[in-house]
Structure 1
């Protein structure tokens, strides 16, 4: 029988994987890897905001990520290169967040836990937040799947089909914000982007349809989460990085497999 903390860790990892896998497919299809990095790094500023205002970390991270998305959208429309904006927000958000957290009076913050995750410390309340967030993300993707997929394939086709591509982009951004907020406890700000991208990239050569790729990405992420927790427990290694290392190993295996015609 597994210890309670391992059971909670496994359930937390599964919850994040089930949401991050399908969402990561859109990140890969749209080549938004850097956006995922910027979002995850800026999450630390959300933590600082939550501590300063005495609100929940989930709410603080969600608010900062949504402001980031709106800022990128608005400034890019004024001609500022998107990659430049994402670079500024990624590193600036991470740096400012670390500085603010260190300056908060009386705040006891585990910076390593924020950066690399602390899945073994997940409690029942954390589990409820993770699974509620995962369910909301999966529901959003299922509800808007056709519109999101069409807008991803071709913005002109989306407009011709009566689909508001900008609205679909905002829905995708909201889903990304939710995943970042719930995954912070599991893998930390520095590794969230990896859990979005690596499982989707791993199964891409194996999938025949977008739907099958989303399902396989969720399964791959779940396998990485459970395998990483087991390996971390046996080898006494940091759990968040170990989960990502297992996901990367799965990607390496996928990369060397012969491609089907």
Structure 2
């Protein structure tokens, strides 16, 4: 536990058993999110990433263990106070009513209503629209947007909240290549400005390139945590994912790259 002492947000030995269930979907997991770092949660489907994410966000109550924010039990925070400390981007952000993008982004300012920081609403909304490249969509209704545009609008709402902890669950899932890189670069920038950022990712190469720390989960347990290059070794990836891979330094950046190991006979015909 000593490696988590300086964590802003910390889960300690949390276990989650669903209501009426017998099998643990998360077992004895610990995680520390530190200011100034991007911390990626990775693992195969069903590994427990989103469950652990929900626990640290305060949306999932653990069956055992505890979660602390600056040393205080997360459960002791009132919802509004918690919303002023951390912003959460979920995988699903359905908006059925014809709100405009600007209106949805403005919802991120709700925790600051009737406080002196409400004076920052206009600037915060404008900056979030700019950062997510959706200024030209501000007057569009959310149901009229593509999946990727909706994802960026949801992220802009989270950014407009202006908290020191950002929790992002698969923020790149619906995005094209350019916007995937933009979103992760934005996460890194917020961390360098002092924010604590946790992000659930499926792409191991994105974790290698952008995360300061990685927690690898499998079957509801933490397999390893630490620097990406030390956690995401070829041997460990094959063990957890059941897929042989090669890990080698990128020729230009030196950042490790993960590629599935394929036989020459698996390649498609050249016609």
The answer to whether the superposition gives a TM-score over 0.5 is no
Q: TM-score, normalised by structure 2?
A: 0.23
Determine which structure has greater relative contact order: mean sequence separation of CA pairs < 8 Å that are 6+ residues apart, divided by chain length: 1
More helix by share: 1
Q: TM-score, normalised by structure 1?
A: 0.24
Which entry has the higher C-alpha Rg, 1 or 2? Answer: 2
